[in-house]
Amino acid sequence: MAVKPSRGRSLREAWQARLDTLRQQMADVENTPGLSLLCLIGAATGGLCGLVVLALHTAIHALQTPLFEFFGASGGSFVDTSLTFRIAVPVLGALLLGLIVEWLLKSAEYGIVHIIERLVYYQGVLPVKAAVAEFTMSALALASGQSVGREGVAAHTGAATGSWLGRQLDLPTNSVRTLVGCGAAAGIAASFNTPLAAVIFAMEVVMMEYTIAGFAPIILAAVTGSLVTFTLTDVHPRLLTEYTGFTTVELPYLAFVGAVLGVAGAGFTRLCGALVPLLAPIRVSLRITLAGMVTALLAVAFPQVMGLGFDTVNASLAGQFAIWMALGIGLAKLVATSFATAAAIPGGVILPTFVIGSALGSALGSLGALLLPGHANDAGLYALLGIGAMMGAVLQAPLSALVVILELSGETGLVLPGMLVVIAALVVSRRIAVADSLFRLLLRRRGLDYRNDPISQYLRRASVISAMNRRFRIVERRINRAALDEILANNLDWLLIRSGENRASLMRPSDVARFLSQEANNQLEEIDLQDVPGKRADAYTIHVRASLQEAFDMINRNEADALVVERTTSSNRPITYGVLTREAIDGTYRP
């Protein structure tokens, strides 16, 4: 008597079949259903990332309030604190951070460099534990006045959220990579209320490629991330001065300002690169404490180097600093952030570049007003241009930098001077810093590098599902003649014979049909496929979520002829989806 399947099992199998269909659609995000699903998940990632930024904002203030009360500081700003506060809090905070990293975390994996590393070498898998650790550590670092930004933890937690969602839904690796980009963009957008610049930054710096399929979900993620933190207008930079245009006399000076900021950006990058190997032999707790001491010493004269620095950016944009004060703040922030970054204090470097660029730009703007009376604009507008120039020089992301200028000002008239300043800074910085962005330089200091040629880009964003051959049949090595004849009648491309765990052998049906057509074999009732002459392909198994880059690397590493695309169920039963050959991979990017 046949046993009827339980209703629960039927529903489970139906749900699994539906999920498999969705995953196959997501494997090719160029098609409308796959792209639509990815956009929905990207929007959810952005919303969650916005909530993380709100939580970080709350945590920083929750930690700062008792600190300020203990030292009798008023106003809630580091600028208004006593000398004792400026020296004690950064040093003690850095010491506590260092001990936590050394004793509890055992490693320091933070920020956007970590995101890029996981995208390139780990298929976009970001451990949630590392993101939670950075959230906690960044809150402590920023509350104690370390010279870092909050966008690093925002981007990291957002990227980890996207990676976690993708893995929970068992999505293909190429979709997980896009969701990581969604989280990074949402983190930047929520931190600065610059959604368009965040999208371009994610594509230009994190993903390092521009695709229509990537743009759509990342845009939605940036929008939802910004909407969640839209109410935090008091902590976003804002330009208070109206732009009145520029004169042709001012253009050479704008180019000069860009060049100076390019030197500053290149100096920042090279100083970080030089400090990393110098500090590396020192134990973690001591080098983080050393970075805190550098911040404390600089804060004696320039307390603006401490903490997030939004107040300093806004003061620069309002033109409130004298030339020498603005110049001192910019250089002090550059040195403090270089030590903090090299010592691996958790946080970001983008907001510090805002502080450095705005301060130096303000100083150059005030100087321009003296040199070109009646022609140069005020210090606030030059501070804004300085932000874009410094960001473009340090990150080697000119388009992101230009869009930041436009979004912070809301003035389309700043396009031309913005382009001039940003490109001048970029050209000079590339000449001095050998065309390396800070993130790529830090990756190299870890002994890591990566391929980013067009072929590698394509292989990373394509799934094995999009290139595999579904015209196959799994057969036993020994099979009776009638069953084999029935299989051969199905016009297949491959016969798959399992030869061990994670291994298989592939045969062409045409070779088997030729063997059976020989007169000597007409009477065989059982066929041992191992005895059939013909070309066999040695195959390894690869997970259905894998990208073509993973497949390409696996074939080369194992010197295999082909791969079997499959997934193992909870009951340890493999489900085979298709066969992927080296020729099929090559055919996806060769005409």
Query: Per-residue confidence at 1, pLDDT binned at 50, 70, 90?
Result: very low
- Check residues 168 and 234 and name the one with the higher pLDDT: 168
Q: Last residue of a domain, which of 193, 208, 236?
A: 236
Q: Last residue of a domain, which of 169, 204, 236?
A: 236
Q: Does residue 336 share a domain with residue 231?
A: no
Q: How far apart are CA 85 and CA 295, in angstroms?
A: 12
Total domains present in the chain: 3
Helix (H) or strand (E) holding 189: helix 173-192
Interval 325-349: pLDDT, tens: 999 999 999 999 999 999 989 888 9
Q: What is the pLDDT of residue 519?
A: 61
Q: What is the pLDDT of residue 69?
A: 83
Q: How far apart are CA 580 and CA 541, in angstroms?
A: 10
Q: Does residue 370 share a domain with residue 272?
A: yes
Q: Does residue 323 share a domain with residue 212?
A: no
Q: Calculate the dihedral angle through the C-alpha atoms of 199, 202, 164, 442, rounding to the nearest 10 degrees.
A: -160
Q: What is the pLDDT of residue 574?
A: 83
For residue 251, pLDDT beyond 70 = yes
For residue 44, pLDDT beyond 80 = yes
Interval 283-293: pLDDT, tens: 999 999 999 99
Interval 168-226: pLDDT, tens: 877 888 888 889 999 999 999 988 888 999 999 998 888 877 777 678 899 999 999 98
Q: Last residue of a domain, which of 445, 473, 506?
A: 445
For residue 231, pLDDT beyond 70 = no
Q: What is the pLDDT of residue 502?
A: 77
The CB density around residue 558, as the number of other CB atoms within 10 Å, is 13
Query: Per-residue confidence at 255, pLDDT binned at 50, 70, 90?
Result: very high
Q: Does residue 468 share a domain with residue 406?
A: no
Record the tokens describing residue 340, joined without a space: 């903090």
Q: What is the pLDDT of residue 467?
A: 87
Q: Does residue 158 share a domain with residue 27?
A: yes
For residue 3, pLDDT beyond 70 = no
Q: Would residue 457 count as lying in a domain?
A: no
Poorest-confidence range of 49-63, 462-476, 512-526, 561-575?
Answer: 512-526
Q: What is the pLDDT of residue 591?
A: 54
Gyration radius from the chain CA atoms:
29
Interval 66-113: pLDDT, tens: 888 887 766 668 888 889 999 999 999 999 999 998 887 766 667 888
Residue-range definition of the domain harbouring residue 154: 12-236
Q: How far apart are CA 454 and CA 460, in angstroms?
A: 10
Contact 581, 551 (CB under 8 A): no
Q: Does residue 191 share a domain with residue 291?
A: no
Q: How far apart are CA 386 and CA 375, in angstroms?
A: 18
Q: Would residue 2 count as lying in a domain?
A: no
Q: What is the pLDDT of residue 6?
A: 53
What mean pLDDT do residues 216-245 have?
74
Q: Does residue 496 share a domain with residue 410?
A: no
| 498 CB-near residues (< 8 Å, 6+ apart) | 474, 504, 505
In the 3-class helix/strand/coil scheme, how is 243-260 assigned residue by residue?
Answer: CCCCCCCHHHHHHHHHHH
The closest alpha carbon to 187, from 218, 154, 220, 219, belongs to 154
Q: Does residue 267 share a domain with residue 206?
A: no
Interval 16-35: pLDDT, tens: 666 666 666 555 545 545 67
Length of the chain in terms of residues written: 591
Q: Would residue 244 count as lying in a domain?
A: no
Contact 294, 145 (CB under 8 A): no
| Residue 568 per-residue DSSP state | E
Q: How far apart are CA 311 and CA 111, in angstroms?
A: 23
Q: What is the pLDDT of residue 176?
A: 87
Q: Would residue 456 count as lying in a domain?
A: no
Q: What is the pLDDT of residue 421?
A: 96
Q: Does residue 518 share a domain with residue 553?
A: yes
Q: What is the pLDDT of residue 2?
A: 45
The enclosing domain of 264 has a CATH number of 1.10.3080.10
What mean pLDDT do residues 338-365 have?
93
Interval 415-461: pLDDT, tens: 889 999 999 999 999 888 665 688 888 887 776 665 566 777 778 77
Q: Does residue 178 share a domain with residue 36?
A: yes
Q: What is the pLDDT of residue 441?
A: 84
Q: Would residue 379 count as lying in a domain?
A: yes
To the nearest whole number, what is the mean pLDDT of the chain? 84
* Phi, psi angle pair for 507, to nearest 5°: -130, 150
Q: Would residue 245 count as lying in a domain?
A: no
| 217 CB-near residues (< 8 Å, 6+ apart) | 35, 38, 39, 41, 42, 43, 178, 179, 182
Q: Would residue 353 count as lying in a domain?
A: yes
Percent of the chain past pLDDT 70, that is, above it, reads 85
For residue 374, pLDDT beyond 60 = yes
Q: Would residue 338 count as lying in a domain?
A: yes
